[in-house]
């Protein structure tokens, strides 16, 4: 029997049913043998026995197995009649609750007065619920002591036992408030009219808790009386409740419950009153009443509603009813004297009848008051249909000036370019505000057809604001349609005088070669006004095409004003955003510096040079440091070029920058500039010898990735973000030392992450043609580190040094953090070191936990060796070992955690504590953070003595065994202080069970919690969702002792049913076959795959599907990969999704989840990759590692929850958020963001894999 029972613990449903049938068929003797196998917690394992008895009770208690039910009930009653441990008898009673009938009533009734078994006996009798069971409960209530009376009152109330009313009513005057309050609700539930007076008295009590319960009881009693056919008494109670200070609102709701539509007049009266909460409730209740007659009554009352706020609220309610019968009166309200009512009527119209709302709303926007125009425009912005543009355009003719502006804004928001002619017609409007609105709208809607009229307006208007608005409209149109600029250029050529001056300014905003030629010609105009306007236009040109004419003007003019304008425009033109290399820009500005003859002109040029980060710019700027009249401006330019501009900007770190900053530090008279120069000088790497490669010219043989330029490999910064990222290996990085020198050492620092290695050679050359190998690391397998590798060799003469990268062990790219070159005799004794691992926040090193001891016969593993703290981490100084006991020291303590993590488990330990002691048990906790919130803390505390010792009364959720802040524990299980307590904690999924000295004090499903006991909400306790973590002790300065600390790990995620999706999700894997899946074709890259001819793709897919069927199979509801073949893909593509995936690997396993056909959410063995699974492995610029290792041990199931919206991915592994809103990069084309959609793939990496419970929910596309 024991063997059969043990099979039940992890049996599949079909096998479990078979085992239960076998057990039942063996009859009463077999059942007695099972019952005899029950064990007191802590004195043996009986999980199988308990599962068997409970399963049998569920099976035969369904009403269809009467003979078997009676047999099991008889065996359980025999056990209940025998003396035994209270916890075991409580379990027996719980099974009788399922199978007991009248034969169980006497035995259960006999236990009602038992302090430890009374509660389960009450629950069982309540469940049985027969007349005999009710009689037993009534009899027990008569004269019951307070400790027993409370559950009895609750039970009889839930049964609505009318015969118990006198006994329940008798407890309305109980001294114990808990019993008194329970009696209030129980008497109300039973429909006890005799309790009315006491209930109403409670409803007006000064105690807020009793007052709330009294009001609740009054409502409940009235409902019960009404249901019993006693409406007059129910209404009398409702009327009395309405007269109480806090009873008005519940009474109004109750009246609707009792009378339905008959309460409509009361609701209308309440809605018309000055009491705002009462009005809101009346409208909410009235909205729910059905029928057009109700709508008609509300409509009839609407004109009489005062104040206007009441009228507006009723109008809003009629809109929410969406009864078209209200439309006539809503239309009347559009003309109400109050603006708030009119706004409510507009909104109600949109909600109630969107198909007919547009016409009146457009009329209101056209001709209404300012408030109505604003409200109507806001509604039409989102509610107007496809007909809105034509309706708005048609209304322009009758609209007020404010209405025209609003209608034009609506047309622009809809980009109704077809209405541009109607808009243009208003350009001659008599109101300036309308003309400005027209021009603003034409910026969006205008086309080449409108350019002549707008141009004519530009030339004719005398108003500067209108001229600027017209120019903006023309600019916007011409940038959308470059050909539309032709009339402007033609007009410019034909114009003269003031008109030509105005058009020159417009030409500067349009740009273009033809306009530029006209403007350049005008710089030689005999008309001084035209000539100066042309120079100004060149200076404001939208691109750098004007740079050459401007520098020519500056060189050739003798007019000081023209020279200054030309220089200013030239500096602006060459510093516009461009793809031009910085050195070229610096050279162009150098021409201006050579021309500058006055201090003002030099300041102009220095302002431009200060924007160019390049040594060539510094070459011109430092000349200004020698000129007293611009020295401080030159110093400011040096600082602008060299110093960091943001927190992530390293600044310029070249030798030229160093020299320039030293001059600023020593010569500037501006303290702020001196301080910035000094601070940046301290950032330059300072080592024993000069790094000859620092800041020198560098070239490479392959393209860079992103902004990771080759110059980052010779910038002196040893950080992973300051590195050259090359697109492929083999490749070369070559540095020109700019001098012949004897060198004898190099240091090479590659990108480091604890797993990758590089193979390479270092070569030297005098002429860049003939090379000699000075360091050969082509067979290297050592992992790259932040210290890099220093290669020393016999001195050679060289000008060029080349790093030839042969291989990267993890991917196709190369990543060189720094290449340093040192002259003979100048090799540093100490080299600069790099940043800590894992930017931007340093991560703790992986925890190197010692192996766990062997499990005993019951599967338990000892966590404490009785000698020292081996296997524990954290506050090891706050704990010690005395005579084989783990002791939290007095005035010590802190957080002491196991190095190993555990998911589902049974933990057993003994604990002893003195009076007033306080500690805690952390479960599923991260290594850092507060376990009470980041994980779960189960209280270890002296319930009885804490208040006396500390003057503080514990909250229910702070007592011993409570899940701190979340779930309170039952009290009374602890032994007196100084005695050992035996405690067991079971964590299986979301169910947490705590058993102390044989009594279950907590049995909670934390996944089902909707609120925490401390009222702070689930968001304050994210650890409730964790499914793995460390466990340990949380000392608070009191001596607490522990021994016999043992754990039995349980397989996680084993409870079924499997492959059944949660609500809102779809199963991608049905647990039976490979329906909905396809094999991965040999063309991995989605871009290349999409370019294949259809026939070729079809052929490759047929081959891939054949490979899939050979390597991927379904076994016992699990998707299994043999390790041979290719990845498995969904048959269709997905965009934004939420995804669940359960997975399991073998030692050394490696896999991943591809999203949108791109790699990947990583899966691997933490023994080889201790950072853990869940990271976005192929990221380069964005984080690639998970925030912590949350994997279950290899061979056990893990669960991913993955959310991908846009480019950002969140990964939750075993309840731990390991990736939070991180951009997933496009591995296939790093120049582009991740593809908008693609297939989901289960990655093949040549090893056996298991998957199940693969569920997807597609999310609506995110708004841009």
**Model pLDDT, residue 685:** 55
In a domain, 428, yes or no: no
In this structure, are 1006 and 1071 located in the same domain?
Answer: no
Q: What is the pLDDT of residues 1196-1216, one digit of tens each?
A: 999 999 999 999 999 999 888
**DSSP result, 152-188:** HHHHHHHHT-GGGHHHHHHGGG-SSHHHHHHHHHHHH
pLDDT over 80 at 336, yes or no: yes
In this structure, are 814 and 942 located in the same domain?
Answer: no
- Distance in angstroms (rounded) separating the CA atoms of residues 1133 and 1236: 10
Average pLDDT of 534-560? 93
Confidence of residue 821 (pLDDT cuts 50, 70, 90): very high
Q: What is the CATH number for 756?
A: 2.60.120.260
Confidence of residue 684 (pLDDT cuts 50, 70, 90): low
- Percentage of the chain exceeding pLDDT 90: 62
Q: What is the pLDDT of residues 1026-1070, one digit of tens each?
A: 889 999 999 988 999 999 999 999 888 887 788 988 888 999 999
Long-range (24+ apart) CB contacts under 8 A made by 33-40 are 33/1, 34/1, 34/5, 35/75, 35/76, 35/78, 35/79, 35/92, 37/1, 37/2, 37/5, 38/88, 38/91, 38/92, 39/88, 40/85, 40/87, 40/88, 40/998
In this structure, are 652 and 718 located in the same domain?
Answer: no
Could you give the C-alpha distances from 436 to 402, 405, 416, 611, in angstroms and in order? Answer: 12, 9, 18, 37
Most confident segment among 351-355, 847-851, 856-860:
856-860
- Distance in angstroms (rounded) separating the CA atoms of residues 472 and 441: 11
In this structure, are 1035 and 1080 located in the same domain?
Answer: no
Confidence of residue 838 (pLDDT cuts 50, 70, 90): very low
pLDDT over 90 at 827, yes or no: no
In this structure, are 1036 and 1082 located in the same domain?
Answer: no
Which of these, 1178, 1123, 1152, lies nearest to 1240 by C-alpha position? Answer: 1152
Average pLDDT of 1063-1090? 91
Last residue of a domain, one of 1050, 1080, 1114: 1050
In a domain, 2, yes or no: yes
How many domains is the chain partitioned into structurally?
Answer: 5
- Distance in angstroms (rounded) separating the CA atoms of residues 1225 and 1182: 8
**Model pLDDT, residue 687:** 43
pLDDT over 70 at 967, yes or no: yes
Contact 669, 639 (CB under 8 A): no
**Model pLDDT, residue 295:** 94
Which of these, 286, 260, 259, 258, lies nearest to 272 by C-alpha position? Answer: 286
Q: Bin 1223: left if φ > 0, else alpha if -120 < ψ < 50, else beta.
A: beta
In this structure, are 953 and 1094 located in the same domain?
Answer: no
In a domain, 707, yes or no: yes
**Model pLDDT, residue 442:** 95
**Model pLDDT, residue 1025:** 86
Among the residues of 481-559, which ranges form H helices? 486-494, 497-510, 513-522, 528-539, 547-556
**Model pLDDT, residue 6:** 63
In terms of C-beta density within 10 A (0-12 exposed, 13-18 middle, 19 or more buried), how is residue 496 classed?
exposed
pLDDT over 90 at 811, yes or no: no
In this structure, are 1073 and 1042 located in the same domain?
Answer: no
Confidence of residue 440 (pLDDT cuts 50, 70, 90): very high
Last residue of a domain, one of 770, 791, 823: 823
| Tokens representing residue 808 in the block | 């990267």
- Distance in angstroms (rounded) separating the CA atoms of residues 114 and 121: 9
Among the residues of 175-307, which ranges form H helices? 177-189, 196-203, 208-227, 231-242, 248-259, 264-271, 276-288, 292-301
| Tokens representing residue 650 in the block | 């390293």
Contact 746, 819 (CB under 8 A): yes
In this structure, are 1043 and 1070 located in the same domain?
Answer: no
Average pLDDT of 947-970? 91
In this structure, are 1037 and 1074 located in the same domain?
Answer: no
In terms of C-beta density within 10 A (0-12 exposed, 13-18 middle, 19 or more buried), how is residue 780 classed?
middle
Length of the chain: 1264
Confidence of residue 835 (pLDDT cuts 50, 70, 90): very low
- Distance in angstroms (rounded) separating the CA atoms of residues 1189 and 259: 61
- Percentage of the chain exceeding pLDDT 70: 96
Contact 883, 1005 (CB under 8 A): no
Residue 900: strand, helix, or coil: coil
**Model pLDDT, residue 22:** 78
**Model pLDDT, residue 469:** 94
- Determine phi and psi for 1074, rounding to 5 degrees: -100, 25
Tell me which residue has tokens 């460390």: 1030
**Model pLDDT, residue 209:** 87
**Which positions ≥6 away from 1263 have C-beta within 8 Å?**
none
Q: What is the CATH number for 1026?
A: 2.60.120.560
Output 1168 or 569, whichever has higher pLDDT.
Answer: 569
**Which positions ≥6 away from 1093 have C-beta within 8 Å?**
none
Q: What is the pLDDT of residues 77-95, one digit of tens each?
A: 999 998 888 889 999 999 9
- Determine phi and psi for 1035, rounding to 5 degrees: -75, 145
- Determine phi and psi for 699, rounding to 5 degrees: -130, 160
Last residue of a domain, one of 800, 823, 846: 823
Beta strands in 599-701 (DSSP E): 698-700
Average pLDDT of 969-975? 93
In a domain, 997, yes or no: yes
| Tokens representing residue 747 in the block | 């240091």
- Distance in angstroms (rounded) separating the CA atoms of residues 204 and 215: 8
598: containing domain: 582-674
Confidence of residue 703 (pLDDT cuts 50, 70, 90): confident
**Which positions ≥6 away from 1236 have C-beta within 8 Å?**
1135, 1156
**Which positions ≥6 away from 571 have C-beta within 8 Å?**
589, 592, 604, 605, 607, 608
**Model pLDDT, residue 829:** 65
In a domain, 1132, yes or no: yes
Contact 722, 715 (CB under 8 A): yes
| Tokens representing residue 43 in the block | 């004195």
Mean pLDDT value across the chain? 89
In a domain, 235, yes or no: no
In this structure, are 1043 and 1078 located in the same domain?
Answer: no
Which of these, 163, 118, 168, lies nearest to 141 by C-alpha position? Answer: 168
In this structure, are 1009 and 1153 located in the same domain?
Answer: no
- Distance in angstroms (rounded) separating the CA atoms of residues 94 and 87: 11
Which of these, 950, 894, 885, 884, lies nearest to 917 by C-alpha position? Answer: 950
- Distance in angstroms (rounded) separating the CA atoms of residues 1166 and 1061: 29
Beta strands across the sheet bearing 872-874: 872-874, 894-898, 1030-1035, 918-925, 936-941
Rg (CA), the chain: 41
In this structure, are 1230 and 1089 located in the same domain?
Answer: yes
Average pLDDT of 564-568? 94
- Distance in angstroms (rounded) separating the CA atoms of residues 791 and 774: 8
In a domain, 1000, yes or no: yes
pLDDT over 80 at 1161, yes or no: yes
Q: What is the pLDDT of residues 155-203, one digit of tens each?
A: 999 999 999 999 999 999 888 888 889 999 999 999 999 999 999 999 9
- Distance in angstroms (rounded) separating the CA atoms of residues 89 and 70: 19
Q: What is the pLDDT of residues 18-73, one digit of tens each?
A: 777 877 888 898 889 888 888 887 777 777 788 888 888 888 888 888 999 999 99
Residue 102: DSSP 8-state: G
In a domain, 1080, yes or no: yes
């Amino acid at each position: 029997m024991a063997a059969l029972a043990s099979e039940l613990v992890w049996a599949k449903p079909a096998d479990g049913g078979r085992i239960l049938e076998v057990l039942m068929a063996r009859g009463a003797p077999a059942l007695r043998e099972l019952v005899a196998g029950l064990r007191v917690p802590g004195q043996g394992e009986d999980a199988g026995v308990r599962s068997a008895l409970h399963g049998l009770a569920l099976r035969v208690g369904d009403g269809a197995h009467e003979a078997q039910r009676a047999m099991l009930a008889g065996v359980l009653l025999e056990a209940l009649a025998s003396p035994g441990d209270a916890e075991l008898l409580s379990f027996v009673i719980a099974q009788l609750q399922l199978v007991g009938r009248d034969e169980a009533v006497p035995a259960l009734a006999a236990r009602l007065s038992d302090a430890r078994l009374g509660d389960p006996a009450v629950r069982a009798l309540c469940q049985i619920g027969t007349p005999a069971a009710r009689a037993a409960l009534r009899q027990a209530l008569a004269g019951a002591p307070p400790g027993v009376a409370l559950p009895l009152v609750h039970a009889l109330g839930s049964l609505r036992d009318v015969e118990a009313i006198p006994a329940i009513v008798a407890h309305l005057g109980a001294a114990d408030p808990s019993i008194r309050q329970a009696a209030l609700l129980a008497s109300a539930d039973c429909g006890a009219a005799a309790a009315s007076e006491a209930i109403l008295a409670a409803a007006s009590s000064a105690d807020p808790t009793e007052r709330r319960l009294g009001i609740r009881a009054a409502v409940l009693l009235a409902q019960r009386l009404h249901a019993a056919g006693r409406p007059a008494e129910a209404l009398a109670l409702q009327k009395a409740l309405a007269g109480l200070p806090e009873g008005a609102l519940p009474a109004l709701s109750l009246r609707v419950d009792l009378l339905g539509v008959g309460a409509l007049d009361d609701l209308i009266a309440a809605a018309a009153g000055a009491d705002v909460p009462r009005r809101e409730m009346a409208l909410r209740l009235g909205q729910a009443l059905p029928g057009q007659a109700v709508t008609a009554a509300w409509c009839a009352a609407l004109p009489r509603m005062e104040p206007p706020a009441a009228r507006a609220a009723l109008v809003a309610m009629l809109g929410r009813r969406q009864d078209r019968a209200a439309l006539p009166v809503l239309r009347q309200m559009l003309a109400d004297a109050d603006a708030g009512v009119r706004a409510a009527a507009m909104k109600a119209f949109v909600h109630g009848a969107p198909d007919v709302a547009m016409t009146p709303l457009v009329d209101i926007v056209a001709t209404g008051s300012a408030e109505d125009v604003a409200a109507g425009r806001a509604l039409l912005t989102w509610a107007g249909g496809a007909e809105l543009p034509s309706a708005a355009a048609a209304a322009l003719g009758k609209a007020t000036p404010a209405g025209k502006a609003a209608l034009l804004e609506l047309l622009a928001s809809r980009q109704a370019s077809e209405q541009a002619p109607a808009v243009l017609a208003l350009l001659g409007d008599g109101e300036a505000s309308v003309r400005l609105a027209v021009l603003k709208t034409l910026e969006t809607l205008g086309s080449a057809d409108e350019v002549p009229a707008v141009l004519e307006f530009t030339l004719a208007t005398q108003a500067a604001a209108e001229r600027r608005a017209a120019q903006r409209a023309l600019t916007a149109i011409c940038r959308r349609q470059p050909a539309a600029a032709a009339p402007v250029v033609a007009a410019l050529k034909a114009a003269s005088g003031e008109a030509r001056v105005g058009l020159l300014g417009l030409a500067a905003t349009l740009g273009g070669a033809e306009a530029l030629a006209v403007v350049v010609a005008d710089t030689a105009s005999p008309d001084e006004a035209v000539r100066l306007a042309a120079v100004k236009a060149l200076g404001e040109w939208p691109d750098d095409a004007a740079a050459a004419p401007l520098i020519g003007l500056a060189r050739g003019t003798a007019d000081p004003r023209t020279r200054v304008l030309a220089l200013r425009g030239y500096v602006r033109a060459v510093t516009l955003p461009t793809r031009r290399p910085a050195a070229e820009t610096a050279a162009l500005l150098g021409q201006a510096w050579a021309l500058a003859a006055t201090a003002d002109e030099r300041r102009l040029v220095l302002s431009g040079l200060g924007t160019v980060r390049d040594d060539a710019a510094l070459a011109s700027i430092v000349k200004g440091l020698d000129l007293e009249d611009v020295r401080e401006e030159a110093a400011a330019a040096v600082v602008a070029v060299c110093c960091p501009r943001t927190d992530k900007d390293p600044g310029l770190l070249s030798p030229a920058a160093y020299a320039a900053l030293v001059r600023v530090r020593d010569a500037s008279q501006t303290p702020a500039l001196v301080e910035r120069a000094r601070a940046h000088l301290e950032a330059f790497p300072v080592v024993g010898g000069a790094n000859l490669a620092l800041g020198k010219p560098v070239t490479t043989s392959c393209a860079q990735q992103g902004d990771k330029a080759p110059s980052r490999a010779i910038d002196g910064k040893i950080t992973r973000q300051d590195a050259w990222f090359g697109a492929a290996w083999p490749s070369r990085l070559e540095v020109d030392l700019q001098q012949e020198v004897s060198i004898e050492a190099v240091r090479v620092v590659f990108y480091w992450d604890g797993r990758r290695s590089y193979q390479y050679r270092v070569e030297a050359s005098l002429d860049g043609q003939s090379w000699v190998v000075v360091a050969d690391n082509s067979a290297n397998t050592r992992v790259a580190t932040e210290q890099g590798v220093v290669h020393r060799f016999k001195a050679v003469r060289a000008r060029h040094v080349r790093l030839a990268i042969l291989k990267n062990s993890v991917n196709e790219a190369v990543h060189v953090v720094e290449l340093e070159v040192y002259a003979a005799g100048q090799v540093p004794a100490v080299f600069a070191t790099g940043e800590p691992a894992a930017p931007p926040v340093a991560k703790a090193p992986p925890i190197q936990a010692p192996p766990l001891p062997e499990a005993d016969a019951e599967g338990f593993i000892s966590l404490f060796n009785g000698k020292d703290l081996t296997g524990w981490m954290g506050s090891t100084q706050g704990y010690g070992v005395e005579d084989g006991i783990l002791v939290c020291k007095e005035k010590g303590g802190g957080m002491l955690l196991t190095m190993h993590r555990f998911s589902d488990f049974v933990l057993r330990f003994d604990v002893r504590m003195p009076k007033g002691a306080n500690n805690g048990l952390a479960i599923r906790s991260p290594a850092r953070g507060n376990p009470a919130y980041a994980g779960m803390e189960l209280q270890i505390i002296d319930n009885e003595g804490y208040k006396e010792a500390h003057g503080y009364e514990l909250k229910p959720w702070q007592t011993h065994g409570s899940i701190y802040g979340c779930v309170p524990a039952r009290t009374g299980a602890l032994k007196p202080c100084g005695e050992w307590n035996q405690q067991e904690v079971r964590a299986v999924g979301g169910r947490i069970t705590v058993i102390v000295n044989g009594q279950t004090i907590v049995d909670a499903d934390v996944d089902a919690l909707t609120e925490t006991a401390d009222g702070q909400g689930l968001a304050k306790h994210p650890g409730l969702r964790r499914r793995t973590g460390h466990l340990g002790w949380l000392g608070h300065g009191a001596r607490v002792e522990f021994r016999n600390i043992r754990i039995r790990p349980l397989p996680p995620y084993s409870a079924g049913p499997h492959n059944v999706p949660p609500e809102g999700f779809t199963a991608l894997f049905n647990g039976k076959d490979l329906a909905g899946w396809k094999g991965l074709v040999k063309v991995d890259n989605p871009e290349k795959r999409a370019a294949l001819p259809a026939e070729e793709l079809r052929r490759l897919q047929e081959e891939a599907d054949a490979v899939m069927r050979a390597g991927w199979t379904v076994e016992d509801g699990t998707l299994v990969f043999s390790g041979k073949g290719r990845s498995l893909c969904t048959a269709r593509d997905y965009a934004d999704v939420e995804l669940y995936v359960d997975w399991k690997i073998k030692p050394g396993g490696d896999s991943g989840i591809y999203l949108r056909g791109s790699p990947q959410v990583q899966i691997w063995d933490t023994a080889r990759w201790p950072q853990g699974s869940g990271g976005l492995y192929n990221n380069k610029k964005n984080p690639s590692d998970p925030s912590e290792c949350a994997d279950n041990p290899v061979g056990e199931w893990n669960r991913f929850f993955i959310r991908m919206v846009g480019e950002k991915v969140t990964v939750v592994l075993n309840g731990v958020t390991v990736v939070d809103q991180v951009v997933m990069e496009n591995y296939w084309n790093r120049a582009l963001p991740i593809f908008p959609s693609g297939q989901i793939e289960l990655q093949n990496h040549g090893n056996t894999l298991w998957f199940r419970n693969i569920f997807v929910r597609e999310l609506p596309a995110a708004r841009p």
